[in-house]
Amino acid sequence: SMVAESFVGLAAGTLGSLGVTIGAFGAHALKKVLEKRGMQKAWETGVQYQLVHAAAMMGAWALLKSDPNTPGVSTAVKCWAVGVPLFSGSIYGLCLGGPRWLGPVTPIGGTFMIAGWAALVYGSIAGGPSLPSKSL
């Protein structure tokens, strides 16, 4: 549907732009704080996963625009839309000295991200569209 397509584009663009911004903050404004806490690598991991999934959502957006019924894609996007903020957001919070309860949130977010990829696998096995021959 048009609403679903709009959500995917909005989510992808938001995650992507925030990922670049958060990465820049980590490399510049927060660099000394993160180095002092020994958390620079963890911050970069949060940014990396956020940006990879923003790019994956852009791909999902393209698929949904061409065929809104592509199996598994909308489920994948929903899982990523929940998983990325939980995973990356909890890492950012922990890096900045957030509460310890954020620790267990990270693998919950990771599980949602994995579930999104699994939804794509399932969708492709369950009857995803084949590429038109003219595109090969």
Q: Give per-residue pLDDT as tens, 13-69.
A: 999 999 999 999 999 999 999 999 999 999 999 999 999 999 999 999 998 888 888
Q: What is the pLDDT of residue 68?
A: 85
39 three-state secondary structure: coil
Q: Which residue has the higher pLDDT, 70 or 14?
A: 14
126 against 106, higher pLDDT: 106
| pLDDT value for 2 | 67
What DSSP line would sit under 62-124, residue for residue?
HHHHH-TT-TTHHHHHHHHHHHHHHHHHHHHHHHTT--GGGTTHHHHHHHHHHHHHHHHHHHH
**Confidence at 126, pLDDT banded by 50, 70, 90:** confident
Side-chain half-sphere exposure of 71, counting CA atoms within 13 A: 11
Q: Alpha-carbon distance 84 to 28, whole Å? A: 23
Q: Are 84 and 46 in contact (CB under 8 A)?
A: no
Query: How far is 61 from 132, CA to CA, in rounded Å?
Result: 18
Q: What is the pTM of this model?
A: 0.89
**pLDDT at site 1:** 64
pLDDT digits (tens, 9 = 90+) for 71-110: 899 999 999 999 999 999 999 999 999 999 999 999 999 9
Q: Is 133 exposed, middle or buried (0-12, 13-18, 19+ CB in 10 A)?
A: exposed
